[in-house]
Amino acid sequence: MLDEYGTAIEVYPFGTELTPGTGYQDVLFTHNAWGSNYSATHLALSVPITQEEIEAIAAENEWRAVRCNRENAFDVIEFWVENQFLIELLPPEFAQKYLSFMQPHQIEQFLAAATVSTP
């Protein structure tokens, strides 16, 4: 389903990669069976559905969905597509606090305080 702007999110099976073409060639779809299961790439997305509806979608697909608080700044629902790709979902009751927080000076402080775990 598209919104009024034509926004689309495409989800493909694990191992599918989009790689750049050469010259004027379009993107190439390839399969990499040895890629990492995880990536730091993610997105935050405001959605017009409730936490319960999000959790039902996750349960139907056997994907992880958990409500998380980001350093007392805002809440998100971590929605893990195929339990590998993170989408931070913001139902209407979360979105306003998130939008208020997402200002350049606050983001700088938030990222400066972030820690990276090593396995």
Q: What is the pLDDT of residue 45?
A: 93
DSSP reduced 3-state for 71: coil
User: In the predicted model, what is the mean pLDDT of residues 27-42?
Assistant: 80
24 vs 8: which has the higher pLDDT: 24
Nearest alpha-carbon partner for 35 in 60, 15, 53, 12: 15
Q: Are 76 and 29 in contact (CB under 8 A)?
A: no
Q: Answer whether residue 43 shows pLDDT above 80.
A: yes
* Sheet with strand 65-70: strands edge to edge: 43-46, 85-90, 74-81, 65-70
Residue 5 in this model has a pLDDT that exceeds 70: no
Return the structure tokens found at 71. Answer: 């350093």
DSSP letter at 25?
P
What pTM does this model have? 0.73
DSSP 8-state class, residue 10:
-
Domains of the chain, residue spans: 39-113
Which residues touch 68 (CB under 8 Å, ≥6 apart)? 75, 76, 77, 78
